Structure 1
Amino acid sequence: MKPESVMLGDLCQVTPSPSSDLFTELSVEADGTPVVTPADITPARQIDTQALRRLPSTATGLERYRLRGGDLVLVRLGSVGRIALVDDGDEQWIYHSSCIRIRPDTSRVDPVFLAAYLAYPPVVDELLSHVQVGTVPVLTAGSLKALPVALPELRKQRLMAGALSEVALQMSVQHRILARLEAVGQGLFTKILGDEFPGMAASRPTGALSKSKVPRTRRTNRMS
């Protein structure tokens, strides 16, 4: 039987992004609520928890933008279309002003199925066709609600979700392996060639610190 076509807004609660003014004090040193930004969304449609920035504990007006297990976080500004599925352990976080929250009605649509559907290239192309093009591409909540979803019966969605979860797990494993191999490759250069390369020492300004003595600082200019 051919899947029915249902608008996303009829299947989910689509909540627009918070005001960007809320995130002026967002930092890795803050002690309050973690914030999911586009930079934290992985190709495996997961949230990378390693470097989440936070708001100060004094920040207010957050309740409307809390995340809970089964929510989807979709990038609406810049790299439009990147998406992550929120795990149960990620509750009490909020999402950044560059994102939109999608909360599926689980009696009609499986969140894992929907996350994969929204990441499916033909669907992404359809989504991008509704983007407002300017200095920075923008997707509105209204355009997202009007996106058609091909909806199989719930039983088939759940079967697909099981298979898709296994695929996502294998993707995550492979990404970790690739990251480890890249580190090994870079380490080989350092081990064999050392820190200095021909001509580099001579071109360095007099009195400049050697690479090994340059103080390390925490990188804070991550993409929002």
Structure 2
Amino acid sequence: MRPKSVMLGDLCQVTPSPSSDLFTELSAEAEGTPVVTPADITSARQVDVQALRRLPITATGLERYRLRPGDLVLVRLGGVGRIALVNDRDEEWIYHSSCIRIRPDTSRVDPVYLAAYLAHPPVVDELLSHVQVGTVPVLTAGSLTGLPVALPELREQRLMAGALSEVALQMSIQHRILTRLDAVRQGLFTKMLGDEIPGTAASRPTGTQSQRKAPRTRRTNRMS
């Protein structure tokens, strides 16, 4: 049975981005509210928690832009279409002015399914067709609400979401294995080759400075 088509705005609460003025004091050293920016959204459609910058504790006007588990954060400015599903239990996060928040009605649409749907290349192409082209590409909340969503039955969505989550888990495991094997490879090659690589600082005797002779230049006599 072919899934029905429903407008995203009928399935979700789509909240426009906050004012960029709220983020003038955004800093890695601040102690206040964590902010999800486009740079924090990974290729695995997750938020890189370690990279989050913060606003000072004194920042105000943030309540409307809070994130909670199950929310989707979509990049609306520049790299339009990148998306992350919020899984963390820390509800003090907010999203940046370069993003839009999508809050699914979970009685009708599964957040994992919706995140995968919105990241599907043909759907991303459709999103990009609604971008306002200028110096920087911009997607508006109004354009997003009118996006058609293929909507299978909720039970089928959850089955699809479970299968996708399992694939994502296996991809994460394989990525960690590859990272570890790359470190082992580098360490093994260093051990086989030895510590001294010709021409590197490690190969020069300690306590001495290498002196380079200035290249000789050929002197010519000019006749006036």
Give TM-score, length-normalised by structure 1: 0.82
Relative distance call for 1:41 and 1:179 in structure 2 (3 A) is farther
CA-CA distance at 1:105 after TM superposition: 0.5
* Matched residue SS, 1:90: coil
Query: What is the match of residue 35 of structure 1?
Result: 35
Number of the residue aligned with 1:109: 109
Report which of the two structures shows the higher radius of gyration computed on alpha carbons: 2
Residue 166 of structure 2: aligned partner: 166
CA contact (8 A) 1:14 1:141 kept: yes
Partner of 2:155: helix, strand, or coil? Answer: helix
1:91 and 2:119 correspond: no
Distance 1:5 1:195 in 2: 64
Inter-CA distance 183–17: structure 2 relative to 1 (3 Å threshold): farther
Distance 1:93 1:198, change over 3 A: same
Greater mean alpha carbon deviation, residues 16-25 or residues 84-93: 84-93
Stretches of structure 1 lacking an aligned partner (at least 5 in a row): 202-224
Cα distance in 2, alignment partners of residues 136 and 17 from structure 1: 16
Deviates more, 1:140-149 or 1:163-172: 163-172
Residue 176 (structure 1) shift: 2.9
Aligned in 2, Cα 1:198/1:161: closer, same or farther, shift over 3 Å?
Answer: same
Quick check: 124-133 or 108-117, which moved more?
124-133
Q: What is the 5 A alignment of 1:2-41? A: 2-41=2-41
Counterpart contact for 1:67–1:92, Cα < 8 Å:
yes
Deviation, structure 1 residue 180: 3.7
Measured in 2, the distance between the counterparts of 1:99 and 1:186 equals 39
Instruction: Answer yes or no: is the 8 Å Cα contact 1:38–1:99 preserved in 2.
Output: yes
SS in 2 for 1:133: coil
Q: Does 1:73 align with 2:78?
A: no
What are the Cα deviations for residues 133-184 of structure 1, in whole angstroms up to 9, with x where unaligned?
2221111111111110000011111111111111121222233334444555
- Name 1:217's counterpart in structure 2: none
Alignment of 1:118 onto 2:118 = yes
Q: How many pairs align?
A: 201
Q: Give me the CA root mean square deviation.
A: 2.2
1:209-224 to structure 2, matched below 5 A, reads none
What is the CA distance between 1:42 and its match in structure 2? 1.1
Select between 163-172 and 186-195 the one with higher mean Cα deviation.
Answer: 186-195
Letter in 1 for 2:31: D
User: TM-score normalized by structure 2?
Assistant: 0.82
- Retained in 2: the 8 A contact 1:70–1:88? no
Mark the runs of 5 or more structure 2 residues left unpaired by the alignment. Answer: 203-224
- For residues 78 and 155 of structure 1, the distance between their equivalents in structure 2, rounded to whole angstroms, comes to 35
Find the aligned partners of 1:129 and 1:92 in 2 and give their Cα distance: 33
Q: Percent identity?
A: 85
2:74 is the counterpart of 1:53? no
Report deviation, 1:28. 0.9
Name the amino acid aligned to 2:13: Q
The 3 A distance-change label for structure 1 pair 120 and 197 is: farther
* Structure 2 residue identity aligned to 1:198: G
Higher RCO structure, 1 or 2 (CA under 8 Å, sep 6+)? 1
- Structure 1 residues 27 and 190: CA distance shift in structure 2, 3 A: farther
CA contact (8 A) 1:81 1:128 kept: yes
Contact 1:15 1:102 (C-alpha < 8 Å) held by counterparts: yes
Give, in angstroms, the shift of residue 189 of structure 1. 7.3
Between 87-96 and 155-164, report the one with greater CA deviation.
87-96
Q: What residue is the counterpart of 1:132 in the other structure? A: 132
Name 1:82's counterpart in structure 2: 82
Q: Specify the SS of the correspondent of 2:89.
A: helix
Which AA in structure 1 matches 2:163? A
Tell me which amino acid in the other structure corresponds to 1:102.
I
Equivalent position SS for 1:5: strand
